[in-house]
């Protein structure tokens, strides 16, 4: 269990992020158009998982915009923006913002194991049930090469280490 903050108050996640060097756990999430997506959908690519509570918050929206911009400098890389948002809301946001370099994925359909498997489900406080803000980076073989559990939900992740790692 990780302790993070929400507006200065402690909240907890159901576990911890996967260890660097471990194999990523496969997932089944819902993409735009309600298509099922898994890690195998992105086989052979480096993956940046930009994970957050909801695209309808300012900080989450900023992280999607920033990773959309940064991925242009990262060869053979896909950015997955993962939340509990409906696929329609995430697609609508990206269309309105002109964001075409990220893939939005949702925990729409059960079973909803992504949050538990990656240790990111918030288990208490006002955002209980949603995903905490985190970044998980995988290499082309699905090995975890970087993680960041953002300590305060209202803060953006650290982009620079991800960009430097994937240049």
- CATH code where residue 50 lies: 3.40.30.10
Check whether 37 has a pLDDT greater than 90: yes
User: Does residue 4 belong to any structural domain of this protein?
Assistant: no
Q: Which of 14, 60, 81, 94 is catalytic?
A: 60
Number of domains in the chain: 1
The stretch 67-95 carries a mean pLDDT of 90
User: Does residue 10 belong to any structural domain of this protein?
Assistant: no
User: Does residue 5 belong to any structural domain of this protein?
Assistant: no
Other C-beta atoms closer than 10 Å to the C-beta of 44 total 9
Catalytic residue check, 94: no
Share of the chain above pLDDT 70, in %: 100
pLDDT tens digit string along 5-27? Answer: 999 999 999 999 999 999 999 99
Cα-Cα-Cα-Cα dihedral of 158, 64, 60, 8, to 10°?
0
Cβ–Cβ under 8 Å, residues 48 and 17: no
User: Does residue 122 belong to any structural domain of this protein?
Assistant: no
The stretch 98-126 carries a mean pLDDT of 91
By DSSP bridging, strand 134-138 and strand 102-106 are unpaired
- The residue ranking higher by pLDDT, 59 or 160, is 160
The stretch 145-155 carries a mean pLDDT of 96
User: Does residue 9 belong to any structural domain of this protein?
Assistant: no
User: Does residue 27 belong to any structural domain of this protein?
Assistant: yes
Question: If pLDDT is split at 50, 70 and 90, which confidence band does 119 have?
Answer: very high
User: Which parts of 98-157 fold into alpha helices (H)?
Assistant: 114-117
User: Does residue 8 belong to any structural domain of this protein?
Assistant: no
Cβ contacts of 101 within 8 Å, gap of 6 or more? 67, 68, 69, 71, 72, 79
Question: What pLDDT is recorded for position 94?
Answer: 85
Question: If pLDDT is split at 50, 70 and 90, which confidence band does 165 have?
Answer: very high
Domain boundaries, position 50 = 19-109+133-166
Question: What pLDDT is recorded for position 9?
Answer: 94
User: Does residue 103 belong to any structural domain of this protein?
Assistant: yes
């Amino acid at each position: 269990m990780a302790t993070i903050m929400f507006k200065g108050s402690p909240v907890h996640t159901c576990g911890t992020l996967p260890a660097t060097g471990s194999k990523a756990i496969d997932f089944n999430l819902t993409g735009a158009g309600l298509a099922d997506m898994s890690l195998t959908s992105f086989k052979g690519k480096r993956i940046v998982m930009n994970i957050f509570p909801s695209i309808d918050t300012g900080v989450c929206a900023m992280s999607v915009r920033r990773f959309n911009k940064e991925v242009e400098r990262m060869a053979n890389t896909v950015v997955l923006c993962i939340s509990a948002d409906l696929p329609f809301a995430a697609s609508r946001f990206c269309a309105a913002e002109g964001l075409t370099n990220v893939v939005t994925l949702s925990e729409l359909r059960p079973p909803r194991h992504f949050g538990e498997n990656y240790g990111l489900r918030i288990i208490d406080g006002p955002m209980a049930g949603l995903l905490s803000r985190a970044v998980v980076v995988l290499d082309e073989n699905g090995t975890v090469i970087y993680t960041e559990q953002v300590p305060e939900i209202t803060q953006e992740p650290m982009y620079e280490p991800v960009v430097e790692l994937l240049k």
